[in-house]
Structure 1
């Protein structure tokens, strides 16, 4: 009997151990997974800006699951907590990756033995919240108000917190430890709660996955113990071809468009970003419908964005825009310029009204997809991509003087160019200078004149020359000048006579070539240089064999 009791007791202990480690021990995990699966299936389609998800991301492939699993495969023995940072430019696929992760976890395809619960926090949606506790944030994600928070927190080593768009919170991860919070029941500003998670003041045993833009990780590296930084690569070459075929549907049309884009190193590189691949396909489809030469549209990046914007603001079948659509676009250009100078990328209703965009205009602008809306209680708006904001900001300078702008932060063309050519320029200024100079191209001037119905400012060329001349004459500024940024602007203009005149105002040049686009642009401009006295550059990663592994 004693032996039987011992056997029964051992079996009982084994059952207890099994149940305590089983992901669905109380049914709570299964209930939450069912809820999360429905939620992220809905978000996948309803929050997608474009139809990319229908064409391209209909399911999470096995190789993607394998990669997601590896992100939290501990390098040491045991299941240590990991903090993984997903870093990448806007539109490259960070949020898509996180949604795939949540969907795959809720479907039991990843982390089955690692995480009982995975909670997705979108910082854009949380930044307006009043003081909250971590328990409150979990309750927001739970399918009903009675979330079993105590049970969830009882095994913190089996929790994964997925934090999207962390930079949106503008949280100070450098704050002293005394300002952080270790109590998951205590209400604090949401910035403090998430910083406390990241700094391991709260639930140090939990794992985190944090998505940020490229400008954010430096401060994270300083104060957060990061296990790994992963950079999504967006569409590889085969992905781009598949997307073109799905978008155009007719194989012949798809290959015609793809071939034209493939011949432009810059545009083909742009297609690495799924959202911009959609934008380019949208432009090409409209141009084909009008019987226009795709090679002219794809001559440079500026031409593509100009076609995209002017098509959006020209009614279907009309020869030109209405006065109302002209006024709307001018308002957006002024709004965009203000945002670029103030580092603002989300705007409220009052911001739009201040630039002549009435509440009644907003549904139409959202319908064109030039603007996106965020939030429910407090609405905010953003350009569909920062490149669109940069393009509209550049157009502002051809429509008006900075002195006509109501915001004092908006500066002159000369100051814009000087800022743009500095090596330590504003991190969000990627294409602003290129678009400004690209719009001076003769064909782009014709588009602008046709759309707005009047001759636009012609002074920017002279200001550009004066800026280069000033930089060339001040030797002490040479080390601060990014010659490649100047070359990109000149490449966009595509006027050999002006390029030759402009580059010969410089006496020194120093830059780094890090991709094929840099190589093409620098080669184009350097062949016109005859006055350079000093040239130094380095080439990195250009001649390595391209990795053909599928992106996540």
Structure 2
């Protein structure tokens, strides 16, 4: 009988062993680096626990995890690869695998300007840093603040040069570039700067927005920088949405930081600082708090900004109608306020469809910046776009210092995602539209369709359709389709998706107005009879969502209370991340 698998690394391994027939085949027939094949006779009758134990005895814990990652990649189980990588990064923090006997961890807050500084207990310098966070959480602003403080002589004066290379700009390059050619392209004044001089100075490269990377040719350059094959003394800072971080091996990154956005107190502070009218600020705060979903989303600064604009306008109107309570309703009001006051209704639908077409097709490709040719493909005229909405803005790029090229972008990715969803909703009459959109979003490797999916589902509800009919005329999608989509999403929640993907599906259900899973768990909690062992996988995920939505900030989270024999407690990782201390 297999020994009990009990360590943190083993639990990570155990939670990843699904599709056992394929796992066994790979272990029997394929070899990985120095690891031997496991004979068929030793695997045939083993269950998941037995396979995990056999792999650990054959390869050691770390070796077993490496083999598992390779197998999962070959099986194209990208969600599992992502989750296992994230679990590995968290293992030391969640379960404390250090020599200390105390199974407790506390997150360390690091100021933006200190991300390369040593923390207590570390002696070797930090060379590579990965910063992750949701869209709109403040990654690019953090990069800009770091550079500004350095340029003004306030911090990090030991660094001689900083080269900021955003992926959204790198995507515009044609052909292949060496590192020095890349620097010459971004700053033609550096053409007198020879490649050998890069070794004389302390240099920081900042690659902002890994999730936006489209060019395969950049992979080799970035990989060589990360591994130290190129300029081993250079510092490297990469930012990304969480879903795309699995593109980088954990062992290549020496420090991982996460921008978590506003705390509950900081959300209130934002609204009070924005409005000098204390009464207005209080009313807006009260309303945002009354919609838990909206309040949670306001941890992302950009949604605080959008909510502030919309709610200020609504609370200033005598006949304001129903106050928006979901993210989709907030963005609808932003859309309505932006156009209804300026343009004739007859022209709005045509213009929105063209602008939405541009948004959707570029979102599919992962493009956030586009040329005038892209506008023409969506039947848009550049002057028309800028005059009508103010949603797009011109950015002048100087290439090689010889000429200027106009490029266009939406003021924020969330605006592009909303307009893309609106275009698809208005132009696609397929009965399977919503179900197909869920499938496509879950297939995305970097999660770039997650927010788009929430908007699309929110647009299909009766309340939003009524509002859209006033603005745009007749819309479609029956309540029957919505109900079927909700059931389909609940089925997906039961599956072995990453915690982040599962949480997004609960937000999707919230946009659809279906909170049945959450309400079931809340009834268990209120009755005082909650037993983690008795919950279904979907209910266990709902427990995570309920805890994240709780009004009270979680200071200490005791993970041991929620351990299960089937290791489903990995679904609680988002709660571990947001708690101040995990036991």
Bin of the TM-score, shorter chain as denominator length: 0.5 to 0.7
Matching residue of 2:483: 465
CA positional deviation for 1:329: 0.9
1:369 to 391, 394, 402: 391
Q: SS of 2:417's equivalent?
A: helix
Q: Deviations over 1:53-92 (max 9, x none)?
A: xxxxxxxxxxx99652353327788764510111112221
Inter-partner Cα distance in structure 2 for 1:496 and 1:148:
60
Computed over aligned residues only, the root mean square deviation of the Cα atoms, in angstroms, reads: 4.3
- Does the alignment pair 1:98 with 2:98? no
Matching residue of 2:247: 219
Contact in 1 for aligned 2:168/2:367 (Cα 8 Å): no
Contact in 1 for aligned 2:392/2:408 (Cα 8 Å): no
Contact in 1 for aligned 2:243/2:446 (Cα 8 Å): no
Q: SS of 1:328's equivalent?
A: helix
Matching residue of 1:196: 224
Contact in 2 for aligned 1:87/1:232 (Cα 8 Å): yes
1:492 to 511, 519, 540: 511
- Does the alignment pair 1:276 with 2:303? yes
- Does the alignment pair 1:431 with 2:476? no
CA positional deviation for 1:203: 1.0
Q: Deviations over 1:217-242 (max 9, x none)?
A: 212126x6211011112223343233
CA positional deviation for 1:349: 2.6
Relative distance call for 1:476 and 1:378 in structure 2 (3 A) is: closer
Relative distance call for 1:92 and 1:467 in structure 2 (3 A) is: closer
- Does the alignment pair 1:248 with 2:270? no
Inter-partner Cα distance in structure 2 for 1:146 and 1:417:
48
CA positional deviation for 1:197: 1.9
Relative distance call for 1:99 and 1:269 in structure 2 (3 A) is: same
Inter-partner Cα distance in structure 1 for 2:395 and 2:311:
26
- Does the alignment pair 1:71 with 2:116? yes
Q: Superposition pairs for residues 301-340 of structure 1, below 5 Å?
A: 301-316=327-342, 321-340=344-363
Q: SS of 2:450's equivalent?
A: coil
Contact in 2 for aligned 1:85/1:211 (Cα 8 Å): yes
CA positional deviation for 1:286: 1.9
CA positional deviation for 1:255: 1.9
CA positional deviation for 1:336: 3.5
Contact in 1 for aligned 2:548/2:575 (Cα 8 Å): no
CA positional deviation for 1:442: 3.6
Contact in 2 for aligned 1:134/1:193 (Cα 8 Å): yes
Matching residue of 2:433: 412
Matching residue of 1:161: 205
Relative distance call for 1:193 and 1:373 in structure 2 (3 A) is: same
CA positional deviation for 1:463: 2.5
Which deviates further from its counterpart, 330-339 or 207-216? 330-339
Larger radius of gyration: 1
Inter-partner Cα distance in structure 2 for 1:480 and 1:169:
27
Matching residue of 1:257: 284
Q: Deviations over 1:9-65 (max 9, x none)?
A: xxxxxxxxxxxxxxxxxxxxxxxxxxxxxxxxxxxxxxxxxxxxxxxxxxxxxxx99
TM-score by length of 2: 0.62
2:167 to 112, 116, 123: 123
1:384 to 405, 411, 424: 411
Relative distance call for 1:371 and 1:440 in structure 2 (3 A) is: farther
Inter-partner Cα distance in structure 2 for 1:194 and 1:333:
33
Matching residue of 2:560: none
CA positional deviation for 1:291: 3.0
Inter-partner Cα distance in structure 2 for 1:478 and 1:359:
46
CA positional deviation for 1:341: 4.7
CA positional deviation for 1:468: 5.7
CA positional deviation for 1:327: 1.4
Contact in 1 for aligned 2:328/2:455 (Cα 8 Å): yes
Relative distance call for 1:240 and 1:393 in structure 2 (3 A) is: same
Q: SS of 1:111's equivalent?
A: coil
Matching residue of 2:260: 233
Relative distance call for 1:545 and 1:99 in structure 2 (3 A) is: closer
Relative distance call for 1:257 and 1:206 in structure 2 (3 A) is: same
Q: SS of 1:160's equivalent?
A: strand
Relative distance call for 1:429 and 1:470 in structure 2 (3 A) is: closer
Q: SS of 1:255's equivalent?
A: helix
CA positional deviation for 1:392: 2.5
Q: Deviations over 1:364-400 (max 9, x none)?
A: 35x6336675745554434333433333233334422
Matching residue of 1:359: 382
Aligned residues: 430
Contact in 1 for aligned 2:547/2:575 (Cα 8 Å): no
What are structure 2's unaligned runs of at least 5 residues? 1-108, 399-403, 520-535, 552-567
CA positional deviation for 1:466: 4.2
Q: SS of 1:208's equivalent?
A: strand
- Does the alignment pair 1:107 with 2:152? yes
CA positional deviation for 1:303: 1.0
CA positional deviation for 1:332: 2.3
- Does the alignment pair 1:86 with 2:113? no
Inter-partner Cα distance in structure 1 for 2:213 and 2:492:
39
2:467 to 433, 447, 456: 447
Contact in 2 for aligned 1:471/1:477 (Cα 8 Å): yes
Inter-partner Cα distance in structure 1 for 2:218 and 2:515:
54
CA positional deviation for 1:425: 8.1
Inter-partner Cα distance in structure 1 for 2:544 and 2:231:
40
Q: SS of 2:248's equivalent?
A: helix
- Does the alignment pair 1:297 with 2:319? no
Q: SS of 2:335's equivalent?
A: helix
Inter-partner Cα distance in structure 2 for 1:298 and 1:477:
27
Matching residue of 2:27: none
